[in-house]
Structure 1
Amino acid sequence: MTNVEEQIFMARVAEQSERFRDMVDFLKPVIAEKGPGLSQDERNLLSVAFKNLVSQQRTAIRTISAIEQNPKYTKFGGPMGDYKRRIEEELYRNCDDIIATIRSSVLSKASDDESRSFFLKMIGDYCRYIAESAKDERLAKTKTDALGAYQEACSIAEKSLNACNSIRLGLALNFSVFHYEVMQDVRKACELGDKALQDALDKLDDCDEETFRDAQSIIELLRENLSLWKEEEGDGEQ
């Protein structure tokens, strides 16, 4: 049994145990050894590990922000704000660590377009998670970093990957969410989503069954977002 095989097995055990920090730690030697040579299954495992590692902090920040809006709890604003900032710093550390790991161990060595698109998208995503709550200089830098990563990923994906490819579609979905949530540009979010949706629908009949199935789930998310965003954009223009 190779060390990589053992680390991947332990990462799956950690996933089942919902120990996502451990899952990331088990996968780091795999990333270091295989870099861009990670299989699709290994890339997906890495994606699950990273996303779950930060999801708890993202949820906690949103929950505290909602509680802060309640006038009944204004008197607790000080300690709540301190607590939220502590969780935000934890989120930033995790995201910075993920971005640095991808840049140093994978992206610098990746040569094929699918792998580069996947990992550039991931950098964009983790910059976006920081930008959800960052302020001032950190927010400005993170916006710039996210925009650069997403744009480079899109440029590669649109040139090399089929319009129904799940990486290309997922990238378009997340980039449109970035424009909506972080850049607060509803029109740009709709433009991106509409283009990705139309390009995919034009090619859907040519897909094999697995690609079709993966594409359909992302297409539904794009449709849902576009429906909400266009309604909002219409309300704003009245």
Structure 2
Amino acid sequence: MKGETAARELVCTLAKSMFDRGLTSGSTGNISVQTEDGGLLVTPTGSSFGRLDPAALSKFDRQGNFVSGSPPTKEMPLHQAFYETRSGTGAVVHLHSCHSVALSLLPDVDTEDFLPPLTPYGIMKLGRVKLLPFFLPGDPAIGEAIRGLAGKRSAVMLANHGPVVAGKDLEAACYAIEELEDTSRLAILTRGLHPRLINSDNKKTLFGLHQLSSQQPNA
């Protein structure tokens, strides 16, 4: 990310794009992005993705101390957990996207591999998505659950709540979380219809591409 001013503007631009397309609504969702000096810019608590002010983003220094801006999202523990456990993480995005939440409510979803292998793009961008149990919003236990994955997952789904995705930069995290929602929608649309799934050999190749792009330990 080149320059803090550019980072602030990009957060607001991509957040509004997701809001305008219905990927999150009201004052839900939060974004963090790492600055050049190792600090973080974070969307404020109670803010709408559709009306973010670049100057009001919460700022933290590289030691995790709040420096300036509006009070940050209460979901800071889940953001910090990804930065601490996945080297190379440049941004984290959390949404309350409708279809992914709907899929998380169903009783027979695979908790280790939340998304069925319907398209190559979900696998390449997300790898295996871990379904975590329900936690109250803002509960520090969410961060502990993510830390418990030891950096092996770039994306998790919080049951009854929403997805969280870490990426090498903000664009990558946003594109991946949009893919998560699209794949969830496909899973809902084809549920009970016995869709043709990507076979195990191709899945293995696609997982390898994800691992290569994220340069993380095997999940």
Q: TM-score, normalised by structure 2?
A: 0.30
Higher helix fraction (1 or 2): 1
Greater Rg by CA: 1
Q: Higher relative contact order by CA 8 Å / sep ≥ 6: 1 or 2?
A: 2
